[in-house]
Amino acid sequence: MADREERIRALIAEMSLEEKVSQLSWTSPAVERLGIPEYNWWNEALHGVARAGLATVFPQAIGLGAAFDEGLAREVADAIADEARAKYNEAVKRGNRGQYYGLTFWTPNINIFRDPRWGRGQETYGEDPYLTGRIGLAFMKGLQGDDGEHLKTAACAKHYAVHSGPEKLRHVFDAVVSPKDLWETYLPAFKVLVDNGVEAVMGAYNRTLGEPCCGSTFLLEDVLRGKWGFSGHVVSDCWAIRDFHENHKVTESPEESAALALNAGCDLNCGCTYPMLTVARKKGLVSEEAIDRALTRLLRTRFKLGILGEQAGPEKPGSGKWDNLGREVINCEKHRKLALKAAEKSIVLLKNSGGLLPLDDSAKKILVLGPSAANAHVMLGNYHGMSVRIVTLLEGLTGKMRDRFAIQIEYRLGCLPYQPNDPSNRFVGEMVGGGKYDVVIACFGLDSAIEGEEGDTIASTSNGDRDTIELPPWQLAYLRNLRQSAKKVILVLTSGSPVAVPPDLADSILYSWYPGERGGEAVANIIFGDAVPSGKLPITVPEKTEDLPPYEDYAMKGRTYRYMEKKPLYPFGFGLSYTTFRFDNITLSGGTIMRGGTVKAVVRVTNTGTIDAEEVVQVYISKDKREADDPAASLRAFKRAAIAAGKQASIEFTLNAADFESVNQAGESALVPGVYTVTAADAAPLPVSVERGAAEPVSAKITAVNDE
């Protein structure tokens, strides 16, 4: 808008150097003489408005990835944005412009979950670039709203780029990757969000290809603003610019670090270094034009949000599009119901031997045990808000007894979740004989005290990362002992990452992730058949830690379903249902594809069971004569389909020529002539044999031709 840009230029023209620099830090003070209010840029909304009291707590991001549902992700983010606006409106009325009450959210995290040991993988949507891009885009749109000129809230794609641990090395590490891996795996999700108008991008702590990400000419100038045409603002991760001179050792002073970041295109500093820009300017390390450029981008965001002048804002409610949102929407019943629906759709059924689930009334005596059962912490994950009612697994299961007076339910802790002061990891627990119970519901796994971000994980010995992907050994020992005496065992796993659990430990296995404030109710609904499981793994579960490449190696060889060489425990996209589906066939609208073209794929799916349910139909593309370092297959489309028992549905997809393109060693993408296989399946097709869902995949051939 021309008027907006004129007003920004006029404001900047009136500001002193010191005033300009003050606005480039996350705690931006008021410039009262110009009518610029104080603003704190730091806010979080990974799966609900975080760190500011009451808010609806939705399933952790990895759970939203497991739902494979773009519409759900957008609905969740829209609810979060409503609550954020309401909090902002109420806070400003009371003169509170402090941290965690602003409208700029440093989410979503669209890094690729390349290694299951990364503690922050729970913040992502999984290991696949396509899934990450689609769910991330839907979440971004929900946060930012559908007004082309104004923002409901501002979303931020992070951490740009090539960032996924190790946590203990993130302030010193250089992520060295090939051009092929960079453009084929690490950058695509960022490009999707940038192409669709994400307002902000956050740089990562680490270096990539030798340059610190928040001061990388290649990442910020050449790719982000040059190749992709990004017009929003860039923010540093918190205190990342200080790392330039203290840890990465690429500069010698704070003013040099500030200059390096600003000149590369980082506009906003979360940290303490940008105040030194006044010194950098006096030394000739930065120009005032560079400062003005960064400030222009930041003021533009504030105008779009209505924080500056263009809309009335909460001081004069009524004329701004979202100014009338008030406290009544915060953790309202509508949002709580949405949290329940999201949790139900995120839960993945990994095993259901003999059709044990859903439980019926023949299970008269039920024992609930385990360190996750009564643990509210496992509902939350990291970067969470707080709800007035967090339903634990035990509470959710007990709630099902309200009208079941013929069923007896008991609870035991069993063993501890972790043993931070016990380096021997010896078995500790109260062994409970399971033989007298019809069913034992064993609630085990991890929580965000043992996996998460550096500094937040008080029980971790690896700065929030995991040394192994197996269950903690004392939990594993307990479950093995329990299995010897129990008649039937249902294992409910809590985790934000892949946990290699031997399938023989239980008759049925549910992956609940960190399912949010109504997670316990969602799990209980699945177990007792009031909801049907439909979640799919957004990550591959390897069989054992030894199958993984070295953690510090960022090469994709041997990682994720696209490049793996070892047989996994469960493949990407895997998840069972209480019914069975049959993929009848897949038909393509044409036999060839050329640059700029499209082809329609129609998949016919039948619900062959007796229960109405949803299936996630996944479409993968693979090159028949692929190079050794090409992906075995790549997800290129997915849809949730509700199909009644005994009914059939035709699911239509549109595939673009770009979906068939390959990235070469130089990082260039091209449509390579040849034959390709388009596969519709309920899990990723792998080059090794592995247990799948009930449906056999179907495929069709298509030939890519060179039209030049």
Q: Which of 70, 451, 453, 682 is catalytic?
A: 451
Tokens coding 422: 């016990």
Q: How far apart are CA 289 and CA 306, in angstroms?
A: 25
Q: How many CA atoms lie within 13 A of 422 on its CB side?
A: 11
Query: Burial, 670: exposed, middle or buried (Cβ in 10 Å; 0-12, 13-18, 19+)?
Result: exposed
Across 442-478, b (16+ Cβ under 10 Å) vs e yields bbbbbbbbbbbbbebbebbebbbbbebbbbbebbbbb
SS3 (DSSP) at 440: strand
Cα 308 to the center of its chain, rounded Å: 31
Greatest CA separation found in the chain?
Answer: 81
Instruction: Mark whether 256 is an active-site residue.
Output: no
Angle between helices 2-13 and 288-305 (to 10 degrees): 130
Q: How far apart are CA 43 and CA 155, in angstroms?
A: 10
Closest CA to 103 of 76, 73, 83, 79: 83
Place of tokens 């090469």: 555
Angle between helices 254-264 and 288-305 (to 10 degrees): 60
Q: How many CB atoms lie within 10 A of CB 254?
A: 21
Tokens coding 381: 């994950």
Cα 132 to the center of its chain, rounded Å: 7
Q: Which of 69, 75, 78, 237 is catalytic?
A: 237
SS3 (DSSP) at 190: helix
Instruction: Mark whether 661 is an active-site residue.
Output: no
Q: How far apart are CA 105 and CA 126, in angstroms?
A: 20
> Quick one: which H or E segment has residue 138?
helix 129-144
SS3 (DSSP) at 96: coil
Cβ contacts of 203 within 8 Å, gap of 6 or more:
159, 160, 212, 213, 214, 215, 216, 219, 220, 234, 235, 236, 237, 240, 266
Q: Answer for the pair 113, 121: CB distance below 8 angstroms, yes or no.
A: yes
Closest CA to 189 of 65, 39, 313, 63: 65
Q: How far apart are CA 100 and CA 107, in angstroms?
A: 13
Strand partners, 156: 200
Q: Answer for the pair 689, 624: CB distance below 8 angstroms, yes or no.
A: no
Q: Three-state SS string across 553-584, please?
A: CCCCCCCHHHHCCCCEEECCCCCECCCCEEEE
Distances (CA, A) of 283 to 241, 276, 278, 633: 19, 11, 9, 53
Give catalytic residue positions.
Answer: 237, 451
